[in-house]
Structure 1
Amino acid sequence: MGEPEPEQIRLKCVRKEGFFTVPPEHRLGRCRSVKEFEKLNRIGEGTYGIVYRARDTHTDEIVALKKVRMDKEKDGVPISSLREITLLLRLRHPNIVELKEVVVGNHLESIFLVMGYCEQDLASLLENMPTPFSEAQVKCIVLQVLRGLQYLHRNFIIHRDLKVSNLLMTDKGCVKTADFGLARAYGIPVKPMTPKVVTLWYRAPELLLGTTTQTTSIDMWAVGCILAELLAHKPLLPGTSEIHQVDLIVQLLGTPSENIWPGFSQLPLASQYSLRKQPYNNLKHKFPWLSEAGLRLMNLLFMYDPKKRATAGDCLESSYFKEKPLPCEPELMPTFPHHRNKRATLATSLGTESQSRRCRP
Protein backbone atom coordinates (compact mmCIF):
# COMPACT_ATOMS: atom_id res chain seq x y z
CA MET A 1 0.00 0.00 0.00
CA GLY A 2 1.06 3.62 -0.53
CA GLU A 3 3.31 2.85 -3.52
CA PRO A 4 2.88 5.20 -6.49
CA GLU A 5 0.71 4.25 -9.41
CA PRO A 6 2.92 2.95 -12.24
CA GLU A 7 3.74 5.32 -15.04
CA GLN A 8 1.37 4.79 -17.95
CA ILE A 9 3.28 4.38 -21.17
CA ARG A 10 1.33 5.53 -24.20
CA LEU A 11 2.04 4.02 -27.61
CA LYS A 12 0.83 5.75 -30.73
CA CYS A 13 1.02 4.14 -34.15
CA VAL A 14 1.99 6.80 -36.69
CA ARG A 15 1.04 4.68 -39.66
CA LYS A 16 1.81 7.13 -42.46
CA GLU A 17 5.41 7.44 -41.31
CA GLY A 18 5.83 3.71 -40.76
CA PHE A 19 7.08 3.76 -37.19
CA PHE A 20 5.81 3.69 -33.63
CA THR A 21 6.20 6.75 -31.43
CA VAL A 22 7.04 5.80 -27.86
CA PRO A 23 8.85 7.53 -24.98
CA PRO A 24 12.61 7.91 -25.60
CA GLU A 25 13.55 5.21 -23.07
CA HIS A 26 11.38 2.70 -24.94
CA ARG A 27 11.94 3.89 -28.51
CA LEU A 28 11.85 1.22 -31.20
CA GLY A 29 12.90 3.47 -34.06
CA ARG A 30 11.85 2.85 -37.65
CA CYS A 31 10.20 -0.54 -38.13
CA ARG A 32 11.82 -3.14 -40.33
CA SER A 33 9.84 -5.00 -42.97
CA VAL A 34 8.46 -8.45 -42.27
CA LYS A 35 10.09 -9.45 -45.58
CA GLU A 36 13.37 -9.53 -43.67
CA PHE A 37 12.05 -12.60 -41.84
CA GLU A 38 11.61 -16.06 -43.34
CA LYS A 39 8.49 -17.75 -41.96
CA LEU A 40 9.33 -21.39 -41.18
CA ASN A 41 6.03 -22.68 -39.82
CA ARG A 42 2.95 -21.68 -37.87
CA ILE A 43 3.20 -22.60 -34.19
CA GLY A 44 0.04 -21.19 -32.67
CA GLU A 45 -3.04 -19.06 -32.93
CA GLY A 46 -4.70 -17.15 -30.13
CA THR A 47 -7.42 -14.59 -29.67
CA TYR A 48 -5.11 -11.74 -30.56
CA GLY A 49 -2.88 -13.11 -33.29
CA ILE A 50 -1.23 -15.90 -35.26
CA VAL A 51 2.30 -16.92 -34.23
CA TYR A 52 4.99 -18.20 -36.60
CA ARG A 53 8.45 -19.59 -36.10
CA ALA A 54 10.68 -17.45 -38.30
CA ARG A 55 14.30 -16.71 -39.15
CA ASP A 56 15.76 -13.22 -39.13
CA THR A 57 17.58 -13.19 -42.47
CA HIS A 58 20.03 -10.52 -41.21
CA THR A 59 21.20 -12.40 -38.13
CA ASP A 60 20.00 -16.00 -38.73
CA GLU A 61 18.32 -15.85 -35.30
CA ILE A 62 15.19 -17.95 -34.85
CA VAL A 63 12.34 -15.84 -33.46
CA ALA A 64 8.60 -16.02 -32.85
CA LEU A 65 6.68 -13.73 -35.20
CA LYS A 66 3.24 -12.78 -33.92
CA LYS A 67 0.89 -11.26 -36.47
CA VAL A 68 -1.48 -8.77 -34.87
CA ARG A 69 -5.12 -9.54 -35.66
CA MET A 70 -6.83 -6.63 -37.38
CA ASP A 71 -10.03 -8.46 -38.49
CA LYS A 72 -12.44 -6.37 -36.43
CA GLU A 73 -10.51 -3.12 -36.45
CA LYS A 74 -11.57 -0.29 -38.75
CA ASP A 75 -9.19 2.34 -37.44
CA GLY A 76 -5.74 1.58 -36.17
CA VAL A 77 -4.19 -1.15 -34.05
CA PRO A 78 -6.43 -3.17 -31.66
CA ILE A 79 -6.26 -1.83 -28.11
CA SER A 80 -5.34 -5.32 -26.84
CA SER A 81 -2.25 -5.35 -29.05
CA LEU A 82 -1.28 -1.81 -28.05
CA ARG A 83 -1.52 -2.87 -24.41
CA GLU A 84 0.61 -5.94 -25.05
CA ILE A 85 3.26 -3.87 -26.85
CA THR A 86 3.41 -1.12 -24.22
CA LEU A 87 3.64 -3.64 -21.39
CA LEU A 88 6.27 -5.84 -23.05
CA LEU A 89 8.40 -2.80 -23.85
CA ARG A 90 8.64 -2.20 -20.09
CA LEU A 91 9.46 -5.76 -19.14
CA ARG A 92 12.86 -7.42 -19.05
CA HIS A 93 13.10 -10.62 -17.02
CA PRO A 94 14.48 -14.11 -17.76
CA ASN A 95 11.06 -15.64 -17.11
CA ILE A 96 9.02 -13.22 -19.23
CA VAL A 97 8.91 -13.56 -23.02
CA GLU A 98 10.93 -10.80 -24.73
CA LEU A 99 9.54 -8.37 -27.29
CA LYS A 100 12.50 -7.65 -29.56
CA GLU A 101 10.91 -5.27 -32.07
CA VAL A 102 7.84 -4.44 -34.11
CA VAL A 103 7.91 -5.00 -37.89
CA VAL A 104 5.44 -4.14 -40.62
CA GLY A 105 4.08 -5.84 -43.73
CA ASN A 106 3.05 -4.50 -47.12
CA HIS A 107 -0.13 -2.90 -45.85
CA LEU A 108 -0.61 -0.32 -43.11
CA GLU A 109 -2.74 -2.75 -41.13
CA SER A 110 -0.14 -5.54 -41.28
CA ILE A 111 1.87 -5.47 -38.04
CA PHE A 112 4.03 -8.18 -36.45
CA LEU A 113 5.67 -8.51 -33.05
CA VAL A 114 9.11 -10.13 -33.04
CA MET A 115 9.43 -12.17 -29.85
CA GLY A 116 12.15 -14.32 -28.37
CA TYR A 117 11.61 -17.92 -29.53
CA CYS A 118 10.94 -20.79 -27.14
CA GLU A 119 10.97 -24.34 -28.45
CA GLN A 120 8.06 -25.63 -26.34
CA ASP A 121 4.77 -24.62 -24.80
CA LEU A 122 3.69 -26.59 -21.76
CA ALA A 123 0.27 -27.49 -23.19
CA SER A 124 1.86 -29.29 -26.15
CA LEU A 125 4.37 -30.97 -23.87
CA LEU A 126 1.69 -32.25 -21.50
CA GLU A 127 -0.23 -33.72 -24.44
CA ASN A 128 2.78 -35.42 -26.01
CA MET A 129 5.13 -36.43 -23.18
CA PRO A 130 5.61 -40.20 -22.88
CA THR A 131 6.07 -39.87 -19.11
CA PRO A 132 4.85 -37.02 -16.86
CA PHE A 133 7.10 -34.41 -15.31
CA SER A 134 8.68 -35.56 -12.05
CA GLU A 135 7.93 -33.57 -8.90
CA ALA A 136 11.45 -32.07 -9.01
CA GLN A 137 10.78 -30.91 -12.58
CA VAL A 138 7.37 -29.51 -11.62
CA LYS A 139 9.02 -27.49 -8.85
CA CYS A 140 11.59 -26.17 -11.32
CA ILE A 141 8.84 -25.01 -13.70
CA VAL A 142 6.63 -23.45 -11.02
CA LEU A 143 9.51 -21.61 -9.36
CA GLN A 144 10.31 -19.93 -12.67
CA VAL A 145 6.66 -18.99 -13.19
CA LEU A 146 6.61 -17.48 -9.70
CA ARG A 147 9.80 -15.47 -10.29
CA GLY A 148 8.33 -14.00 -13.45
CA LEU A 149 5.06 -13.24 -11.65
CA GLN A 150 6.82 -11.61 -8.72
CA TYR A 151 8.55 -9.30 -11.21
CA LEU A 152 5.23 -8.51 -12.95
CA HIS A 153 3.35 -7.86 -9.73
CA ARG A 154 6.13 -5.65 -8.33
CA ASN A 155 5.75 -3.61 -11.51
CA PHE A 156 1.98 -3.32 -10.97
CA ILE A 157 1.02 -5.65 -13.82
CA ILE A 158 -1.61 -8.41 -13.65
CA HIS A 159 -1.30 -11.04 -16.40
CA ARG A 160 -4.98 -12.13 -16.28
CA ASP A 161 -4.58 -15.17 -18.54
CA LEU A 162 -2.13 -17.58 -16.93
CA LYS A 163 -2.50 -21.16 -18.18
CA VAL A 164 -0.18 -23.94 -19.36
CA SER A 165 -0.52 -22.94 -23.03
CA ASN A 166 0.81 -19.46 -22.17
CA LEU A 167 3.92 -20.89 -20.49
CA LEU A 168 6.81 -21.43 -22.89
CA MET A 169 10.03 -23.35 -22.33
CA THR A 170 13.36 -23.26 -24.12
CA ASP A 171 15.48 -26.31 -24.77
CA LYS A 172 17.66 -25.07 -21.90
CA GLY A 173 14.77 -25.45 -19.45
CA CYS A 174 14.01 -21.73 -19.09
CA VAL A 175 10.27 -21.14 -18.57
CA LYS A 176 8.78 -17.86 -19.81
CA THR A 177 5.31 -16.42 -19.36
CA ALA A 178 3.83 -15.24 -22.66
CA ASP A 179 0.70 -13.71 -24.23
CA PHE A 180 0.05 -10.37 -22.57
CA GLY A 181 -3.03 -9.48 -24.62
CA LEU A 182 -5.23 -9.44 -21.50
CA ALA A 183 -2.61 -8.06 -19.11
CA ARG A 184 -3.24 -4.76 -17.35
CA ALA A 185 -1.24 -2.25 -15.39
CA TYR A 186 -3.03 -1.41 -12.15
CA GLY A 187 -2.68 1.23 -9.48
CA ILE A 188 -3.92 2.19 -6.03
CA PRO A 189 -6.83 2.57 -5.64
CA VAL A 190 -7.72 -0.37 -7.88
CA LYS A 191 -10.02 0.64 -10.73
CA PRO A 192 -12.90 -1.56 -11.98
CA MET A 193 -12.10 -4.06 -14.76
CA THR A 194 -14.21 -6.55 -16.68
CA PRO A 195 -14.47 -9.96 -14.93
CA LYS A 196 -14.56 -11.80 -18.28
CA VAL A 197 -10.86 -12.66 -18.21
CA VAL A 198 -8.71 -15.72 -17.58
CA THR A 199 -9.44 -18.99 -19.37
CA LEU A 200 -12.32 -20.75 -17.57
CA TRP A 201 -10.34 -23.64 -16.04
CA TYR A 202 -7.95 -21.18 -14.37
CA ARG A 203 -10.47 -18.49 -13.41
CA ALA A 204 -10.63 -17.45 -9.75
CA PRO A 205 -13.99 -17.71 -7.92
CA GLU A 206 -14.27 -13.94 -7.40
CA LEU A 207 -14.17 -13.50 -11.19
CA LEU A 208 -16.83 -16.17 -11.65
CA LEU A 209 -18.98 -14.32 -9.12
CA GLY A 210 -18.65 -11.03 -10.98
CA THR A 211 -16.12 -8.93 -9.06
CA THR A 212 -14.97 -5.83 -10.91
CA THR A 213 -11.95 -5.14 -8.71
CA GLN A 214 -9.03 -7.33 -9.70
CA THR A 215 -5.72 -7.77 -7.96
CA THR A 216 -2.66 -9.95 -8.44
CA SER A 217 -4.53 -12.66 -6.49
CA ILE A 218 -6.32 -13.77 -9.69
CA ASP A 219 -2.92 -14.70 -11.14
CA MET A 220 -2.10 -16.64 -7.98
CA TRP A 221 -5.29 -18.74 -8.22
CA ALA A 222 -4.21 -19.62 -11.76
CA VAL A 223 -0.77 -20.62 -10.44
CA GLY A 224 -2.51 -23.03 -8.06
CA CYS A 225 -4.38 -24.57 -11.01
CA ILE A 226 -1.13 -24.87 -13.00
CA LEU A 227 0.76 -26.45 -10.08
CA ALA A 228 -2.06 -28.96 -9.55
CA GLU A 229 -2.24 -29.73 -13.28
CA LEU A 230 1.49 -30.42 -13.51
CA LEU A 231 1.39 -32.65 -10.41
CA ALA A 232 -1.76 -34.57 -11.41
CA HIS A 233 -0.92 -34.73 -15.15
CA LYS A 234 -4.39 -33.42 -16.01
CA PRO A 235 -6.39 -30.19 -15.54
CA LEU A 236 -7.65 -29.74 -11.98
CA LEU A 237 -10.93 -27.92 -12.66
CA PRO A 238 -12.00 -28.60 -16.28
CA GLY A 239 -15.37 -26.85 -16.20
CA THR A 240 -17.62 -26.78 -19.27
CA SER A 241 -19.47 -23.60 -18.26
CA GLU A 242 -19.22 -20.92 -15.58
CA ILE A 243 -21.87 -22.68 -13.49
CA HIS A 244 -20.03 -25.99 -13.81
CA GLN A 245 -16.73 -24.27 -12.95
CA VAL A 246 -18.17 -22.86 -9.72
CA ASP A 247 -19.56 -26.30 -8.84
CA LEU A 248 -16.18 -27.99 -9.40
CA ILE A 249 -14.51 -25.43 -7.13
CA VAL A 250 -17.10 -26.03 -4.39
CA GLN A 251 -16.69 -29.81 -4.73
CA LEU A 252 -12.94 -29.43 -4.25
CA LEU A 253 -12.74 -26.72 -1.58
CA GLY A 254 -16.12 -26.68 0.14
CA THR A 255 -18.92 -24.11 0.12
CA PRO A 256 -17.76 -20.51 0.55
CA SER A 257 -19.33 -18.38 3.28
CA GLU A 258 -19.00 -14.96 4.87
CA ASN A 259 -16.92 -16.54 7.67
CA ILE A 260 -14.12 -17.62 5.38
CA TRP A 261 -14.66 -15.03 2.67
CA PRO A 262 -15.88 -11.67 4.01
CA GLY A 263 -17.91 -9.88 1.33
CA PHE A 264 -18.70 -13.10 -0.54
CA SER A 265 -22.48 -12.63 -0.33
CA GLN A 266 -22.19 -9.10 -1.76
CA LEU A 267 -20.51 -10.18 -4.99
CA PRO A 268 -22.67 -9.30 -8.03
CA LEU A 269 -23.46 -12.89 -9.07
CA ALA A 270 -23.41 -14.61 -5.66
CA SER A 271 -27.21 -14.67 -5.40
CA GLN A 272 -27.54 -16.20 -8.88
CA TYR A 273 -25.75 -19.44 -7.96
CA SER A 274 -27.38 -22.18 -5.93
CA LEU A 275 -24.26 -23.63 -4.32
CA ARG A 276 -24.22 -27.22 -3.12
CA LYS A 277 -23.65 -27.72 0.61
CA GLN A 278 -20.18 -29.20 0.81
CA PRO A 279 -18.34 -28.59 4.11
CA TYR A 280 -15.01 -30.27 3.28
CA ASN A 281 -11.74 -29.26 1.67
CA ASN A 282 -10.83 -32.25 -0.53
CA LEU A 283 -7.36 -31.19 -1.68
CA LYS A 284 -5.72 -33.81 0.55
CA HIS A 285 -7.89 -36.54 -0.98
CA LYS A 286 -7.07 -35.26 -4.46
CA PHE A 287 -3.32 -35.30 -3.74
CA PRO A 288 -2.84 -37.98 -1.03
CA TRP A 289 0.86 -38.35 -1.83
CA LEU A 290 1.69 -34.65 -1.59
CA SER A 291 3.75 -33.52 1.41
CA GLU A 292 2.32 -31.32 4.15
CA ALA A 293 4.34 -28.38 2.80
CA GLY A 294 2.95 -28.99 -0.70
CA LEU A 295 -0.64 -29.14 0.57
CA ARG A 296 -0.09 -26.02 2.66
CA LEU A 297 1.14 -24.13 -0.42
CA MET A 298 -1.77 -25.34 -2.52
CA ASN A 299 -4.28 -24.35 0.16
CA LEU A 300 -2.77 -20.86 0.32
CA LEU A 301 -3.12 -20.51 -3.44
CA PHE A 302 -6.73 -21.68 -3.29
CA MET A 303 -7.93 -19.41 -0.50
CA TYR A 304 -11.44 -18.18 -1.31
CA ASP A 305 -10.69 -14.75 0.17
CA PRO A 306 -8.41 -13.01 -2.40
CA LYS A 307 -6.85 -10.91 0.38
CA LYS A 308 -5.57 -14.05 2.11
CA ARG A 309 -4.29 -15.77 -1.03
CA ALA A 310 -0.53 -16.32 -1.20
CA THR A 311 1.55 -13.81 -3.15
CA ALA A 312 4.32 -14.83 -5.54
CA GLY A 313 6.84 -13.80 -2.89
CA ASP A 314 5.11 -15.94 -0.26
CA CYS A 315 5.24 -18.94 -2.58
CA LEU A 316 8.92 -18.48 -3.39
CA GLU A 317 9.64 -18.73 0.35
CA SER A 318 7.53 -21.89 0.74
CA SER A 319 9.24 -24.82 2.43
CA TYR A 320 7.77 -27.00 -0.34
CA PHE A 321 10.56 -25.83 -2.65
CA LYS A 322 13.21 -26.47 0.02
CA GLU A 323 12.34 -30.07 0.82
CA LYS A 324 13.11 -33.25 -1.13
CA PRO A 325 12.73 -33.80 -3.97
CA LEU A 326 14.47 -30.50 -4.51
CA PRO A 327 13.73 -28.52 -7.69
CA CYS A 328 16.05 -29.54 -10.49
CA GLU A 329 18.14 -26.87 -12.18
CA PRO A 330 16.62 -25.53 -15.43
CA GLU A 331 19.58 -26.70 -17.51
CA LEU A 332 19.00 -30.25 -16.21
CA MET A 333 15.41 -30.33 -17.45
CA PRO A 334 14.93 -32.95 -20.16
CA THR A 335 14.69 -31.88 -23.79
CA PHE A 336 11.77 -32.94 -25.94
CA PRO A 337 10.85 -33.21 -29.63
CA HIS A 338 9.43 -29.95 -30.97
CA HIS A 339 5.79 -31.03 -31.07
CA ARG A 340 4.47 -27.54 -31.78
CA ASN A 341 6.36 -27.38 -35.05
CA LYS A 342 5.34 -30.86 -36.16
CA ARG A 343 1.70 -30.35 -35.19
CA ALA A 344 1.50 -26.93 -36.80
CA THR A 345 3.15 -28.11 -40.03
CA LEU A 346 0.75 -31.04 -40.29
CA ALA A 347 -2.24 -28.83 -39.53
CA THR A 348 -1.19 -26.34 -42.19
CA SER A 349 -0.86 -29.08 -44.80
CA LEU A 350 -4.35 -30.31 -43.97
CA GLY A 351 -5.78 -26.81 -43.94
CA THR A 352 -6.83 -27.07 -40.30
CA GLU A 353 -5.32 -26.45 -36.92
CA SER A 354 -6.62 -28.23 -33.85
CA GLN A 355 -6.98 -26.18 -30.69
CA SER A 356 -6.12 -27.65 -27.32
CA ARG A 357 -9.02 -27.59 -24.86
CA ARG A 358 -6.62 -25.96 -22.44
CA CYS A 359 -6.58 -22.88 -24.71
CA ARG A 360 -10.33 -22.25 -24.69
CA PRO A 361 -11.40 -18.93 -23.18
Structure 2
Amino acid sequence: MHEALKKNPSFEYLIHFVNDDVCLRSSYSLECSESRKRTNLTESLGKGRYEILELVGSGASSDVYRARRLSDDLIVSLKEVHDYQSAFREIVALQVLRNCPNIVGLHDYFLREDEDAVLVLEFLRTDLAAVIRDAEKKGGGVRFGEVKVDAMLQVLCGLDACHRNMIVHRDLKPGNL
Protein backbone atom coordinates (compact mmCIF):
# COMPACT_ATOMS: atom_id res chain seq x y z
CA MET A 1 0.00 0.00 0.00
CA HIS A 2 1.30 3.47 -0.85
CA GLU A 3 2.53 5.78 1.94
CA ALA A 4 -0.31 8.30 1.38
CA LEU A 5 -2.83 5.55 2.10
CA LYS A 6 -0.99 4.40 5.22
CA LYS A 7 -1.04 7.94 6.61
CA ASN A 8 -4.64 8.66 5.68
CA PRO A 9 -6.81 5.66 4.72
CA SER A 10 -9.60 8.01 3.59
CA PHE A 11 -7.48 8.74 0.49
CA GLU A 12 -8.10 5.18 -0.71
CA TYR A 13 -11.41 6.02 -2.34
CA LEU A 14 -9.87 9.09 -3.97
CA ILE A 15 -7.22 7.21 -5.90
CA HIS A 16 -9.07 3.99 -6.54
CA PHE A 17 -10.75 5.34 -9.67
CA VAL A 18 -9.42 7.95 -12.05
CA ASN A 19 -11.64 8.88 -14.98
CA ASP A 20 -9.62 9.93 -18.02
CA ASP A 21 -7.11 11.88 -16.04
CA VAL A 22 -3.96 9.80 -15.66
CA CYS A 23 -2.20 9.98 -19.00
CA LEU A 24 0.13 7.14 -19.90
CA ARG A 25 3.35 8.57 -21.29
CA SER A 26 4.89 7.27 -24.48
CA SER A 27 8.36 7.94 -25.86
CA TYR A 28 6.93 9.06 -29.22
CA SER A 29 8.12 12.54 -30.08
CA LEU A 30 6.19 13.19 -33.28
CA GLU A 31 4.57 16.56 -33.71
CA CYS A 32 0.78 16.61 -33.93
CA SER A 33 -0.13 17.19 -37.55
CA GLU A 34 -3.12 19.34 -36.70
CA SER A 35 -2.34 23.04 -36.23
CA ARG A 36 -4.30 24.71 -33.48
CA LYS A 37 -5.22 28.34 -32.96
CA ARG A 38 -3.47 30.38 -30.30
CA THR A 39 -5.88 31.13 -27.49
CA ASN A 40 -6.52 34.44 -25.82
CA LEU A 41 -6.86 33.72 -22.10
CA THR A 42 -7.01 35.72 -18.94
CA GLU A 43 -3.84 35.90 -16.89
CA SER A 44 -5.55 34.00 -14.06
CA LEU A 45 -5.16 30.64 -15.81
CA GLY A 46 -1.38 30.80 -15.64
CA LYS A 47 -1.27 32.85 -12.43
CA GLY A 48 1.27 35.14 -14.12
CA ARG A 49 3.83 32.32 -14.16
CA TYR A 50 2.90 30.84 -17.53
CA GLU A 51 2.41 32.15 -21.05
CA ILE A 52 -0.46 30.35 -22.79
CA LEU A 53 0.67 29.35 -26.29
CA GLU A 54 -2.30 27.43 -27.67
CA LEU A 55 -5.33 25.31 -26.89
CA VAL A 56 -4.37 21.65 -27.30
CA GLY A 57 -7.74 20.06 -26.56
CA SER A 58 -11.08 20.40 -24.80
CA GLY A 59 -13.40 17.89 -23.21
CA ALA A 60 -16.46 17.84 -21.01
CA SER A 61 -14.48 18.16 -17.80
CA SER A 62 -11.25 19.91 -18.78
CA ASP A 63 -9.34 22.08 -21.22
CA VAL A 64 -5.65 21.57 -21.98
CA TYR A 65 -3.26 24.29 -23.12
CA ARG A 66 0.34 24.27 -24.25
CA ALA A 67 2.16 26.90 -22.21
CA ARG A 68 5.62 28.21 -21.41
CA ARG A 69 6.76 28.49 -17.80
CA LEU A 70 8.22 32.00 -17.57
CA SER A 71 10.86 31.18 -14.93
CA ASP A 72 12.81 28.77 -17.16
CA ASP A 73 11.05 28.64 -20.59
CA LEU A 74 9.98 25.02 -20.03
CA ILE A 75 7.08 24.01 -22.29
CA VAL A 76 4.30 22.46 -20.18
CA SER A 77 0.65 21.50 -20.42
CA LEU A 78 -1.85 23.42 -18.30
CA LYS A 79 -4.88 21.25 -17.68
CA GLU A 80 -7.82 23.27 -16.41
CA VAL A 81 -10.14 20.81 -14.65
CA HIS A 82 -13.67 22.10 -14.05
CA ASP A 83 -14.61 19.58 -11.35
CA TYR A 84 -12.63 20.01 -8.14
CA GLN A 85 -13.15 16.41 -6.97
CA SER A 86 -11.90 15.01 -10.28
CA ALA A 87 -8.90 17.32 -10.10
CA PHE A 88 -8.12 16.22 -6.54
CA ARG A 89 -8.29 12.53 -7.53
CA GLU A 90 -6.01 13.16 -10.48
CA ILE A 91 -3.50 15.12 -8.39
CA VAL A 92 -3.34 12.37 -5.76
CA ALA A 93 -2.99 9.66 -8.43
CA LEU A 94 -0.21 11.53 -10.25
CA GLN A 95 1.63 12.09 -6.97
CA VAL A 96 1.37 8.37 -6.18
CA LEU A 97 2.68 7.53 -9.68
CA ARG A 98 5.31 10.29 -9.82
CA ASN A 99 8.29 7.95 -10.28
CA CYS A 100 6.81 5.89 -13.10
CA PRO A 101 8.55 6.61 -16.42
CA ASN A 102 5.37 5.76 -18.37
CA ILE A 103 3.04 8.19 -16.58
CA VAL A 104 2.87 11.89 -17.43
CA GLY A 105 4.69 14.05 -14.86
CA LEU A 106 2.90 16.53 -12.59
CA HIS A 107 5.04 19.65 -12.05
CA ASP A 108 2.63 21.76 -10.00
CA TYR A 109 -1.04 22.58 -9.46
CA PHE A 110 -3.12 25.49 -8.20
CA LEU A 111 -6.73 26.60 -7.77
CA ARG A 112 -8.29 29.49 -9.65
CA GLU A 113 -10.74 31.92 -8.10
CA ASP A 114 -13.62 30.19 -9.92
CA GLU A 115 -12.58 26.95 -8.13
CA ASP A 116 -11.30 25.28 -11.29
CA ALA A 117 -8.04 23.45 -10.64
CA VAL A 118 -5.09 23.88 -12.98
CA LEU A 119 -2.58 21.05 -13.22
CA VAL A 120 0.86 21.85 -14.62
CA LEU A 121 1.88 18.71 -16.49
CA GLU A 122 4.77 17.50 -18.59
CA PHE A 123 4.04 18.49 -22.20
CA LEU A 124 3.62 15.50 -24.54
CA ARG A 125 3.82 16.48 -28.20
CA THR A 126 1.52 13.77 -29.50
CA ASP A 127 -0.67 10.84 -28.53
CA LEU A 128 -1.24 7.37 -29.92
CA ALA A 129 -4.36 8.50 -31.81
CA ALA A 130 -2.28 11.08 -33.73
CA VAL A 131 0.40 8.48 -34.49
CA ILE A 132 -2.27 6.14 -35.90
CA ARG A 133 -3.90 8.96 -37.93
CA ASP A 134 -0.53 10.02 -39.37
CA ALA A 135 0.32 6.43 -40.32
CA GLU A 136 -3.07 6.01 -42.03
CA LYS A 137 -2.57 9.25 -43.99
CA LYS A 138 0.78 7.95 -45.22
CA GLY A 139 -0.95 4.77 -46.34
CA GLY A 140 -1.18 1.40 -44.71
CA GLY A 141 -1.66 2.34 -41.10
CA VAL A 142 0.58 1.26 -38.26
CA ARG A 143 2.51 -1.82 -39.26
CA PHE A 144 3.31 -4.64 -36.87
CA GLY A 145 6.89 -4.52 -35.74
CA GLU A 146 9.30 -3.12 -33.22
CA VAL A 147 7.58 0.28 -32.86
CA LYS A 148 4.17 -1.29 -32.27
CA VAL A 149 5.54 -3.75 -29.70
CA ASP A 150 7.53 -0.99 -27.95
CA ALA A 151 4.45 1.25 -27.74
CA MET A 152 2.36 -1.59 -26.31
CA LEU A 153 5.03 -2.38 -23.70
CA GLN A 154 5.06 1.27 -22.61
CA VAL A 155 1.28 1.28 -22.25
CA LEU A 156 1.32 -1.97 -20.28
CA CYS A 157 4.09 -0.73 -17.96
CA GLY A 158 2.10 2.44 -17.21
CA LEU A 159 -1.08 0.46 -16.68
CA ASP A 160 0.74 -1.99 -14.41
CA ALA A 161 2.00 0.92 -12.28
CA CYS A 162 -1.57 2.18 -11.96
CA HIS A 163 -2.92 -1.22 -10.95
CA ARG A 164 -0.12 -1.89 -8.45
CA ASN A 165 -1.18 1.34 -6.74
CA MET A 166 -4.93 0.52 -6.80
CA ILE A 167 -5.64 3.07 -9.53
CA VAL A 168 -8.05 2.19 -12.34
CA HIS A 169 -7.83 4.41 -15.43
CA ARG A 170 -11.41 3.91 -16.76
CA ASP A 171 -10.83 5.73 -20.07
CA LEU A 172 -7.95 3.97 -21.77
CA LYS A 173 -7.95 4.94 -25.45
CA PRO A 174 -5.37 6.06 -28.04
CA GLY A 175 -6.19 9.75 -27.45
CA ASN A 176 -5.18 9.37 -23.80
CA LEU A 177 -1.90 7.58 -24.54
TM-score of the alignment, normalized to the shorter chain, above 0.5: yes
- CA contact under 8 A between 1:104 and 1:112: conserved in structure 2? yes
Residue 112 and residue 33 in structure 1: after superposition, are their counterparts in 2 closer, same or farther (change >3 A)? same
**CA RMSD of superposed structures (Å):** 2.3
Q: Deviations over 1:255-276 (max 9, x none)?
A: xxxxxxxxxxxxxxxxxxxxxx
- Which runs of at least 4 in structure 1 moved beyond 3 Å after TM superposition? none
- The corresponding residue for 2:59 is 46
- CA contact under 8 A between 2:78 and 2:118: conserved in structure 1? yes
CA distance in 1, matches of 2:105, 2:88: 16
User: What's the TM-score once normalised by structure 2's chain length?
Assistant: 0.68
- CA contact under 8 A between 1:50 and 1:67: conserved in structure 2? yes
Q: Deviations over 1:204-251 (max 9, x none)?
A: xxxxxxxxxxxxxxxxxxxxxxxxxxxxxxxxxxxxxxxxxxxxxxxx
Residue 111 and residue 157 in structure 1: after superposition, are their counterparts in 2 closer, same or farther (change >3 A)? closer
Q: Which of residues 101, 109, 130 in structure 1 aligns to 2:115?
A: 109
1:1-361 aligned at under 5 Å gives the runs 7=5, 8=9, 10=11, 34-70=47-83, 77=84, 79-92=85-98, 93-105=100-112, 107-129=113-135, 130-131=138-139, 132-135=141-144, 136-167=146-177
Residue 125 and residue 33 in structure 1: after superposition, are their counterparts in 2 closer, same or farther (change >3 A)? closer
Match for 1:62: what amino acid?
Answer: I
- CA contact under 8 A between 2:96 and 2:165: conserved in structure 1? no
CA distance in 2, matches of 1:83, 1:110: 14
Residue 9 of structure 1, CA deviation: 6.3
CA distance in 2, matches of 1:54, 1:9: 34
Residue 101 and residue 9 in structure 1: after superposition, are their counterparts in 2 closer, same or farther (change >3 A)? farther
CA distance in 2, matches of 1:34, 1:111: 12
Match for 2:86: what amino acid?
Answer: S
- CA contact under 8 A between 1:33 and 1:104: conserved in structure 2? no
User: What's the TM-score once normalised by structure 1's chain length?
Assistant: 0.35
Residue 47 of structure 1, CA deviation: 2.8
CA distance in 2, matches of 1:90, 1:137: 29
Which consecutive unaligned segments of at least 5 residues does structure 2 have? 12-44
Which protein has the bigger helix share? 1
Residue 62 and residue 9 in structure 1: after superposition, are their counterparts in 2 closer, same or farther (change >3 A)? farther
Greater relative contact order (Cα < 8 A, sep 6+): 2
Residue 89 of structure 1, CA deviation: 1.4
Match for 1:54: what amino acid?
Answer: A
What SS does the corresponding residue of 2:72 show, helix, strand or coil? coil
- The corresponding residue for 2:35 is none
Residue 80 of structure 1, CA deviation: 1.6
Residue 108 of structure 1, CA deviation: 4.3
- The corresponding residue for 1:321 is none
Residue 119 and residue 9 in structure 1: after superposition, are their counterparts in 2 closer, same or farther (change >3 A)? farther
Which consecutive unaligned segments of at least 5 residues does structure 1 have? 11-31, 71-76, 168-361
CA distance in 2, matches of 1:164, 1:9: 32
Q: How much identity, in percent, do the aligned residues show?
A: 37
The count of residues paired between Structure 1 and Structure 2 equals 135
- CA contact under 8 A between 1:9 and 1:86: conserved in structure 2? no
- CA contact under 8 A between 1:101 and 1:113: conserved in structure 2? yes
Residue 9 and residue 84 in structure 1: after superposition, are their counterparts in 2 closer, same or farther (change >3 A)? farther
- CA contact under 8 A between 2:46 and 2:52: conserved in structure 1? no
Q: Which has the larger radius of gyration?
A: 1
Residue 155 of structure 1, CA deviation: 1.2
Residue 161 of structure 1, CA deviation: 0.9
